[in-house]
Amino acid sequence: MRVVIYLDEAATTPVRRDVLEAMWPYLTGTFGNPSSHHEVGELARRGLEEARRAVADFLGARPGEVAFTSGGTESDNAAVKGIALASTRGRHVVVSAIEHPAVLESARWLATQGFEVTELGVDELGHVTPDALAAALRDDTALVSVQHANNEVGTVQDIPALAAVAAERGVPFHTDAVQSAGWLDLDVTALGVQALSLSGHKLGAPKGVGALFLARRTPAEPLLHGGGQESERRSGTENVAAAVGLAAAVRAERPDAAGVAALRDAFIERILAEVAGARLTGDPVHRLPGNASFVFPGRSGESILLDLERRGVVCSSGSACHAGSDEPSHVLTAMGVEREVAQTAVRFTFGAAITADMLDTAADALVEVVG
């Protein structure tokens, strides 16, 4: 495969070598079923529980509050549907209008089951305000779910402030932290949340593994029934090797967020200066370090992507989960971007391996393509 500059880490990251090395023994010699009551199964069980402790430490949680899942989508579904269905408060759910589809579609499914769903609007930078959330809460609100950092525009929400509003009314709060993991502090006590979703493949672990933090005494109806694994929160034989890989990823040294953000800001500054009409989307300050997202009115976002790829620069138009859709981004339209302009979106996302030279090359290509 030819060498490319990969600027789509919000979609997925490469698996880290130390993650692969940690997983290998559990794919070969230590292959037992962790529910088996013999030595081979016990060895697998020990690896699984050590992985659980590592993820719990990463979140400032108790090991018993962490359940392994197949990824962010399952974790989001388990939190939104599970908490709502188990609630004795009522049948009303609040989510933001710019959530990942895993949250939005879960809430919309609840609407088919008799729940009322409020989709909170956001400002032009993508923020949910505490006042708006307070106005949306009701005595029968069963759950609030607001994303920690947006996967398309990178805007970071003030989760502690929002969670405090919900706590005042006794409403459980869930946050999708899939994009912010590894970049932002995810101490669940500091955030004030009762549920939080993680996905391994955004952190250098393989696809197909994630985790759900669910605080003690927060009831949640399980989506999967069967053998009662994961303390009866997620039945199914655990993927021990993947859980160990996720643990290795969260134990890894955190990237230099300030350094990556400085490179991001220089890249943004150049694009806005050299590409006529380019507009940054999302909050220019309170955004993920490795996210630079733009719209280019009057251009075709899809054509820009194709032309950049021909020049060896790989990026995206937004969420990989909506790739190929003709519909404009629901995130951008919720932020007030015109539908036709939203269809010109291009997102560049990168991690600790990025260099100034790589971003200069990408900027050269973008200036050439759009100009």
**What is the CATH number for 295?**
3.90.1150.10
How many other β-carbons are positioned within 10 Å of the β-carbon of residue 33?
Answer: 14
Clarify whether 321 is annotated catalytic: yes
Query: Same structural domain for residues 195 and 330?
Result: no
Question: Of 204, 229, 251, at which residue does a domain stop?
Answer: 251
The band of 144, judged by pLDDT with boundaries at 50, 70 and 90, is very high
Query: Same structural domain for residues 245 and 261?
Result: no
Question: Of 251, 283, 298, at which residue does a domain stop?
Answer: 251
Query: Same structural domain for residues 9 and 158?
Result: no
Query: Same structural domain for residues 179 and 190?
Result: yes
Buried b (16+ CB within 10 A) or exposed e, 104-135: bbbbeebeeeebebbbbebeebbbbbeebbee
Query: Same structural domain for residues 229 and 268?
Result: no
Question: Of 209, 226, 251, at which residue does a domain stop?
Answer: 251
Domain that holds residue 358: 5-14+255-370
Query: Same structural domain for residues 274 and 293?
Result: yes
Residue 161 belongs to domain with CATH number? 3.40.640.10
The band of 371, judged by pLDDT with boundaries at 50, 70 and 90, is confident
**What pLDDT is stored for residue 319 in this prediction?**
55
Query: Same structural domain for residues 95 and 197?
Result: yes
Query: Same structural domain for residues 263 and 294?
Result: yes
**What pLDDT is stored for residue 324 in this prediction?**
52
Query: Same structural domain for residues 34 and 122?
Result: yes
Q: Average pLDDT of 287-292?
A: 98
Give percent of the chain above pLDDT 70.
97
- pLDDT higher than threshold 70 for residue 325: no
How many other β-carbons are positioned within 10 Å of the β-carbon of residue 364?
Answer: 14
Query: Same structural domain for residues 218 and 295?
Result: no
- Number of structural domains in the chain: 2
Query: Same structural domain for residues 161 and 260?
Result: no
Residue type, 14: P
List 321, 333, 358, 360, catalytic entry = 321
